[in-house]
Amino acid sequence: MEFLPVCPEDVRRRGWDAPDFVYVVGEAYVDHPSFGHAIISRVLENAGYKIAMLCLPEYHSAEAFKLFGRPKLGFLVSSGVIDSMVNHYTTAKKRRNTDVYAPGGKAGLRPDRAVTVYCNRIHEAYPGMPVLIGGVEASLRRFSHYDYWDDKVRRSVLVDSAATLLMYGMGEKTIIDCCDWVRRGMPAHELPSLTGVCYMAKQPPKDAILIPSHQEVATDKKAYCKAFMMEYGEQDPVRGKALCQQQDSQRYLVQNPPAMPLKQPELDKVYDLPFTRLAHPSYDKLGGVPALQEVRFSLSAVRGCFGSCNFCALTFHQGRVVTSRSEESLVKEAKLLTTFPDFKGYIHDVGGPTANFRSPACDKQLRSGACKNRQCLYPSPCKNMKVSHEELCRILRRLRSLPRVKKVFIRSGVRFDYLMADKSDQFLHDLCKYHVSGQLKVAPEHVSQNVLQKMGKPNFEVYKKFTEKYAQMNHRLGMDQYLVPYLMSSHPGSTLKDAVELAEYLRDIGHQPEQVQDFYPTPGTMSTCMYYTGIDPRDMTPVYVPKTEHEKAMQRALMQFRHPRNHALVREALRLAGREDLIGYDRRCLVRPEQSEGYRPRENRPMQRKTGRGQFTRSGSGNPSRRRPSGGRKGRS
C-alpha cells in the first residue's frame, strides 16, 4: 500500500506523464476511510483513474495549483469533511485557534469559503479546465442558502465557484459517473441522467420542479421557507424529483435526484480498498494530523440516519435511508486494526451518524422512498418502523471476542428513543456491560416540549424513562455508570422560560455541563431556516428566535448556573423570566442574591449523602441515573 502522488516526483515515479485529475482538498492528506477525500481518491484509483492529491495548497495566488501541470481531464475540489466556515469560527463568530484537520493542528492553512477560493484559483491557472466540486461544503450550499457569517442569503456555491458540476451526498457512485462524463467530452444531453449532481442551465428542464428563485428567497422569508420545504421533500433517491432554482436573470440551478445509497456489498468493497490508514509522512515533523487520532482505531459501520433532527444536515447529505456494512466486513477490518503496532487493545467506536441503526427504518423505504410528510421517530415512532438490535449485538459480540481486543466502545450517538422502542433489553444489557466506560453520552438536547418540537426530538418523558431503565440495568449488573446528556442552548423556539426549565432540570439531577453547545445555524438544516426566517417552515407559524449575543449568553449561563462568573447573568435571566423565586438560599434556588455573594446560611445548604463508589446525590435522590458525575473515562458514546 502506498499513498497517492502529492508532488511531481511521485507522479514521475509512477510512470505517468500527467494525472487525469488533480484533487484539491482543504485539509491534510489522511489516507483513512473516515476522510472523504481518501475514499473518493481510492474509488477513482480503483476505477482506473490517475489521481494526484493537492492538499491545503497556498491559496493567495494560482501558482500552487500548477504544481502538477495541466491535468489530462480536470480538477476535483472539496473543502474537506467539514464546512470551512464552521471549521474556522465558533458560534460567536470568533476565530478558532486550532484546526484538527491540518498538520500539527495549525489554524489558517485553508481559506474561508474554501471551495469557492480554490475554484477561482484553478480558473486563473487553467481557464476552461473542467472543475467538479463536492464534499460537505458544496453539498449543503447547493441551493440559495442563509449564511450565518454574512447574515444574508447567498447564491448557490456552484454560481460563486463557477464550477462545471456540483456533486452532493455520499459520492462513490456519483464521482465515477461524473469523471466518466468528463472523459467522454462532457456531452450536455447526458446531464439530466447524472444522479446526485447539480448543474447550471439556461432554461428549466421540463420535468423539474421550479422552486422560488434566489431573488425571491433573498427578499421574502416566506418564500425562503417554501423553497426549503420543497428542497427538503425531494431529498430521497427513490421518489425524489429534479429541482430547479433561478439564480440570476439568465441561469438556473438544476438539482438532479439523489443517487441511490450503496448496497451492502458495494459499501463493503469501498472499505476494503487499500488505504494506508495513516496521515501522509510529510506531516510527521509537523506533529501529524490530530483528527486521525480520534478515528484511527474506530469502525465506520453505517451511513444515513432516519432520526432527522431538525438541526442536523444529514438529511441533505447522507440521507434518511440507513445502509450498513456487513458483519464480515467489520470483523475483517477489526482484525486488521489488531495487527497495527500501536494498537493497545481498544476499538474506540463502532458506529456512524447513529450507533444503533443498522438498516432502513422500514421495508418500504427502498421500494417507495422515505415518507415525504412523516418522520420515522418524531413525534413518536412510526408503527411500520422495524426495531431490532439483534444483528448489532451479534457483531459486537464477535468484535469483543477477537484476540488482542480488550474493549469495544460505542461512542457514536445512541438513539435512546429507538432503543426504548425495542421490546428486547439485550442491546441495553450489552451496552452497559461491555461497551461503556463509566459514562454514556446521549442527546436529549433539551427538556422543554416547546423547544423539542422545534428540534424534531421526542417528548422529554421518553428520555426520563430511558434514564430509569439505564439506571436499573446498571444496578442489575452491579455497575456504577452514569449518563451525560448533550444539551443545546438558544435553539429556535427557546425562550428564557424554556432555558430556566432546563436549568431546573440540571439542578435536580446535580449535573453541571463542562461545555455548553449553542445552536449553530449551518447551511442545509430546518433549524437554520427557522433561525433566519423566524418561521417554522412545516406549518408557517412564527418561531421565537434568540439572536442577540446577550440573550444567548443568558441562556448559556443558566446551563452553568453554579459558576460564579455566571451569577449576574443568571439573576438577570431569572428576573426577566419572572422567576425571582429561584434567587435565594433554599435548595431549589439557582443563585444567591447579589448582596449575599460568598455567604450562605449553614442551615440552608443542601444535604448530601454518599451513594457508593465516590458518587454523591442530593438528599432524597437515590435514583442512580440522577447521580452527580464523579469521574470515569471521558469520550463520546
Tens of pLDDT, residues 44-70: 999 999 999 999 999 999 999 999 999
**Is the pLDDT higher at 634 or at 46?**
46
Would you say residue 607 has pLDDT above 70?
A: no
Q: How confident is the model at residue 1 (pLDDT cuts 50, 70, 90)?
A: confident
Please provide the size of the chain in residues.
Answer: 637
- DSSP per-residue letters across 501-512: HHHHHHHHHT--
Contacts 24+ apart (CB under 8 A), 87-90: 88/112, 89/149
Percent of the chain at pLDDT exceeding 70 = 93
pTM, to two decimals: 0.91
Would you say residue 612 has pLDDT above 90?
A: no
State the average pLDDT for the chain. 93
Question: What are the pLDDT digits (tens) for 471-510?
Answer: 999 999 999 999 999 999 999 999 999 999 999 999 999 9
Q: Are 33 and 300 in contact (CB under 8 A)?
A: yes
Would you say residue 35 has pLDDT above 60?
A: yes
Domains recognised in the chain with CATH numbers: 8-195 (3.40.50.2300)
Question: What are the pLDDT digits (tens) for 379-436?
Answer: 999 999 999 999 999 999 999 999 999 999 999 889 999 999 999 999 999 999 999 9
pLDDT, position 597: 61
Placement of cell 441533505 in the chain: 316
CA neighbor of 273 nearest in space, from 48, 80, 49, 45: 45
**Is the pLDDT higher at 114 or at 600?**
114
Q: How far apart are CA 4 and CA 77, in angstroms?
A: 16
pLDDT, position 437: 86
Three-class SS string for 583-596? ECCCCCCCECCHHH
